[in-house]
Amino acid sequence: MRQWMARRGRVLAGLVLLGGLAGCAAQGDAAATGPVGAAQVPAGTAQTALMARYGERMARQVRSDRVFDGILERAHVRTGFGVLAVVTPLGFVQKAGVQAGVVPPAVSAAVIRHLLGVNFGRFLPGMPDRPLMFEFPVQPPGVGAAAAGGVRDGSVFRQQEIVLYQPNAVLVARVGSAVPLGAYIKQLDASLAASFDAMPPEAGVTAALVMGVKPGMKSRAWVVTGRNHMSAALIDKIETVAEAVPAVPVQGGPIAFAIIFNVWGGGVPVTDAKHPVPMPRQWFQGAVGNVEVPDGVFARIWK
């Protein structure tokens, strides 16, 4: 698939190299990165908002699709599930996938066939002029949002975007498809949301949960807070909760991605034009010259 894009504006960050440490210490936990090709730099806030609006429009259209509902009703589907669709700039569905293991294969095939005939309308002005992947939850008729396995509407946790640190070809080779990765991210979102919802309200924060996954379903988490204040105890709790979620299986090498999120209304952005990719300061430990993310970084800091 050409892009790994999902609801709320998930973006691809291509191949990233960590340069020398000069200038990085001043950033603290703020995003910092070495050279990134111009075509690989994630979209800005305005573009992300447009993609989020388009993704929400897609979800609304599917919710009002009587033919889609009929497919689920005839198969007696009573469980919500996630759908991923690669959409062209003209609004046509190029490829589609259904969350594995939730509905029978025959239902998945019927859903995919239907989606391949759907048009969601032209991209909004300002969106990238290339096929993008969107993820959205589907609730069968009579099933609420909570049953879909996503974050409930009243949660104080809000995912903003997903940043991927590797080229699409590497991700496809190591994960196989976007579906298992999307399901893993959804589980991480739900676990974080449940943790934050159980806490007393605090000042709004924006942060990034950076996840690394190695073969053998081994995962590690780092939290990037930028200029937001977050206690060490809370950071430890977020990392512990994230590492408790069963990792997505990978092969041939590690993968890395970041979930940028707001909690309690959000705070100061952790990325900007100068630092478009969140980088944990721990990744710079012992770095000399350019180090590939995540392979080179994990080889140094994660044995």
Q: Which tens digits make up the pLDDT trace of 250-267?
A: 999 999 999 999 999 899
- In sequence order, what are the residues at sequence separation of 6 or more whose Cβ sits closer than 8 angstroms to the Cβ of residue 71? 107, 110, 111, 114
Give the mean pLDDT of 77-92.
86
Q: Which of 46-50, 68-72, 154-158, 160-164 shows the lowest per-residue confidence on average (mean pLDDT)?
A: 46-50
pLDDT of residue 280: 93
Count of beta carbons in the 10 Å neighbourhood of residue 91? 15
165 pLDDT exceeds 60?
yes
Each residue's pLDDT tens digit, 168-179: 788 889 998 777
Q: Which residues of 171-208 are buried (b: 16+ CB within 10 A; e: fewer)?
A: beebbeebbbbbbbbbbbbbbbbebbeeeeeeeebbbb
Judge if pTM exceeds 0.75.
Answer: no
Count of beta carbons in the 10 Å neighbourhood of residue 109? 12
- Residues 148 and 236: their CA atoms lie apart, in Å, by 28
Q: pLDDT band at residue 41, thresholds of 50, 70 and 90?
A: very low
Q: How far is CA 81 from the centre of its chain?
A: 16
